[in-house]
Amino acid sequence: MGSQEVLGQAARLASSGLLTQVLFRGITFVLNAFILRFLSKEIVGIVNVRLTLLYSTISFLAREAFRRACLSGRSQRDWPQTLNLLWLTVPLGGFWSVLLGWVWLHWLEVPDPSAVPHYGTGVVLFSLAAVVELLGEPFWVLAQAHLFIRLKVTAESLAVILKSTLTACLVLCWPHWGLSIFSLAQLSYAVALLLCYVIYFAKLLGSPESARQHNLPVSSMMDVLPSLTGSGAFVNWDEAKLTWSFFQQSFLKQILTEGERYVMTFLNVLSFGDQGVYDVVNNLGSLVARLLFQPIEESFYVFFAKVLQREKRATLQKQEDLAVAAMVLESLLKLALLAGLTITVFGFAYSQLALDMYGGAMLSSGSGPALLRSYCVYVLLLAINGVTECFTFAAMSKEEVDRYNVRMLALSCTFLVFSYLLTRWCGSVGFIWANCLNMGARIAQSLSFIHRYHRHSPHRPLAGLLLSPMLLGAFALSGGITSVSEVYLCCEQGWPARLAHVAVGALCLVVTLGMAFLTETRLIHFLRTQLGVCRPAEKAR
């Protein structure tokens, strides 16, 4: 498969992932606004911070390293050994669920049962849901490796719709169930996701012609289960070693990604109610970032991993593939920078209005607006980091991954210290500024690697971080105009003034995007030629 074909498939996977995220985040957005009017912020804080942290920690530690290792490289692999390795995620997930579940039940502060009922049930069911989802990991990797676009979109969409519908019904009918509502909904999400993958592959592998058409390495459902291989080795030890390297990195990355939740959970720097407000603002601030950046990062990691050979320097790569990879990286950096700057510039002037419309005075008063404005800065760094790490992790050799892990360990410790100190100093806003410092350090690490990687090649993908002076001027002018508009038109002046404030922002946004369209012609060409392509033969997937 040529690099251009892989690029086209990765772009379609990113587009489909974007649609999934739009559905997922859109439903979650509406659901949270609904829940805030029926349940206390203490329950929201326990669910969205503590129990979600338990679920994500089990899932991340059990599968992230396996996913990265088993999706790396372009060479032919022994798929039975790879599948055997992937099944190890299930007992590993069981181990983490028992260990972390015990910590959540016996080490952490237990909320007042009268205010937050059924906490123990919540811990058990969230842990069980994580293990259930891990049962589908071999199917997920097979689908990703063969770019089954519709499967991922359909499975996640159905699971999200089921979870959201069940949550809304239970909140309306039995709000006194407390955490049991969200626990049952999370378990239903995991079961639905697993069933979608199992049913799809059972149907696909039940037809030998379809299996051959998709060039699958398995011919029946029994082939997906753990088995002894012809080589005598249960797993490929090179993949296993790479998995171990990624596991060390994943452990550190999880601390960095969810660091503020760990600090809130283990150090009790905020009350459960304040945690609820922080998490709602955090989800609102990250909505656009996750909608756009997460599908791009996941899909183009697969692209870079397939196009570049991990153990070879840039000068030893196939030059045609290297040129395509450099062009894609430059375009993605430009896209991330433009999207991040747009969110940062316009988010400052519209944070208070957005919070007031979303959750009322509970969010728009107090620390809410300052939290969301700070998060707008974080989104810019988050966007750039997602793209740079996407390339870096796909191109690093095993030795470079190991060295990177050592730096990540120091970074993790520093981040946790800054999170604690800044939170003590300036409240929940300190979490976001600690994240900004952490993300800036991670970006510096990745930029250094990308520069060294392309140093002896004719390609300079980091040019994607440079914008024209005219476009920068448009951003600066829009930021100034919308800030003045907020002072005079928002947010205590009534709805006519608010609508005028929105109109001012819309006009500035149109002018800024128009300037981007005129000055960033290479990016526009990339978006038109790649993200808009879909061949009929591949629509069947």
Are 98 and 191 contained in the same domain? yes
Question: If you average pLDDT over residues 502-507, what whole number do you get?
Answer: 95
Q: Is pLDDT above 80 for 28?
A: no
Are 288 and 415 contained in the same domain? yes
pLDDT digits (tens, 9 = 90+) for 136-153: 999 999 988 887 877 887
Whether residue 48 lies inside any domain: the answer is yes
Q: Residue 349: which pLDDT band, with cuts at 50, 70 and 90?
A: very high
Tokens, residue 220: 């029946």
Burial of 423 (0-12, 13-18, 19+ CB in 10 A): buried
Range of the domain at 455: 1-35+257-460
Distance CA 84, CA 86 (A): 5
139 contacts 531 by C-beta, under 8 angstroms: no
The amino acid sitting at 344 is T
Whether residue 250 lies inside any domain: the answer is no
Are 194 and 125 contained in the same domain? yes
Instruction: Give me the residue label for tokens 């390339």.
Output: 391
Provide the pLDDT for residue 272. 85
Provide the pLDDT for residue 419. 87
Are 176 and 262 contained in the same domain? no
Contacts of residue 147, Cβ cutoff 8 Å, sequence gap at least 6: 9, 10, 12, 13, 302, 541
The b-or-e profile of 63-82 (16+ CB within 10 A means b, else e) is: bbbbbbbbbbbbeebbbbbb
Q: Is pLDDT above 50 for 537?
A: no
Are 7 and 55 contained in the same domain? no
Whether residue 228 lies inside any domain: the answer is yes
Q: Residue 166: which pLDDT band, with cuts at 50, 70 and 90?
A: very high
Higher pLDDT, 228 or 347: 347
Provide the pLDDT for residue 180. 92
Q: Is pLDDT above 90 for 104?
A: yes
Whether residue 281 lies inside any domain: the answer is yes
Are 13 and 94 contained in the same domain? no
Are 48 and 133 contained in the same domain? yes
55 contacts 133 by C-beta, under 8 angstroms: no
Whether residue 317 lies inside any domain: the answer is yes
Are 337 and 402 contained in the same domain? yes
Contacts of residue 461, Cβ cutoff 8 Å, sequence gap at least 6: 326, 327, 329, 330, 333, 450, 454
Provide the pLDDT for residue 31. 72
Question: If you average pLDDT over residues 481-503, what whole number do you get?
Answer: 87
CA contacts within 13 A on the Cβ side of 421:
8
Q: Which is nearest to 30 in space by CA: 167, 157, 187?
A: 167
* CA 535 to each of CA 147, 154, 530, 539: distance values in angstroms, whole numbers, following the listed order: 14, 19, 11, 6
Higher pLDDT, 472 or 355: 472
Of 425, 460, 495, which closes a domain? 460
Are 153 and 182 contained in the same domain? yes
Q: Is pLDDT above 70 for 535?
A: no
Overall pTM surpassing 0.75 (yes/no): no
Question: If you average pLDDT over residues 154-165, what whole number do you get?
Answer: 86
Are 265 and 315 contained in the same domain? yes
Higher pLDDT, 302 or 19: 302
Provide the pLDDT for residue 541. 40
Whether residue 336 lies inside any domain: the answer is yes
Tokens, residue 187: 């378990």
Higher pLDDT, 309 or 105: 105
pLDDT digits (tens, 9 = 90+) for 58-78: 999 999 889 888 887 655 678
Q: Residue 19: which pLDDT band, with cuts at 50, 70 and 90?
A: low
Provide the pLDDT for residue 409. 80
pLDDT digits (tens, 9 = 90+) for 382-413: 999 989 998 998 888 878 888 887 888 888 88
Question: Looking at the 3D structure of the chain, how many domains does it have?
Answer: 2
Q: Could you write out the DSSP letters of every residue in 482-524? A: HHHHHHHHSSSS-HHHHHHHHHHHHHHHHHHHHHHHHH-HHHH
Provide the pLDDT for residue 501. 93
Q: Residue 17: which pLDDT band, with cuts at 50, 70 and 90?
A: low
Asked whether the CA dihedral 216, 221, 226, 231 is positive or negative, the reply is: negative
Give percent of the chain with pLDDT exceeding 90: 35
Distance CA 272, CA 44 (A): 8
Indicate the average pLDDT of the chain. 84
pLDDT digits (tens, 9 = 90+) for 231-265: 667 888 888 888 888 887 777 777 777 877 888 88
Whether residue 522 lies inside any domain: the answer is no
Distance CA 431, CA 260 (A): 6
Terminal Cα-to-Cα distance of the chain (whole angstroms): 17
Are 335 and 204 contained in the same domain? no
Q: Is pLDDT above 70 for 4?
A: no
Are 192 and 277 contained in the same domain? no
Q: Is pLDDT above 90 for 38?
A: no
Whether residue 266 lies inside any domain: the answer is yes
Provide the pLDDT for residue 385. 92
Distance CA 495, CA 502 (A): 10
In this predicted structure, which of 92-106, 224-238, 429-443, 521-535 has the lowest mean pLDDT?
521-535
Q: Residue 303: which pLDDT band, with cuts at 50, 70 and 90?
A: confident
Provide the pLDDT for residue 531. 56
Higher pLDDT, 473 or 259: 473
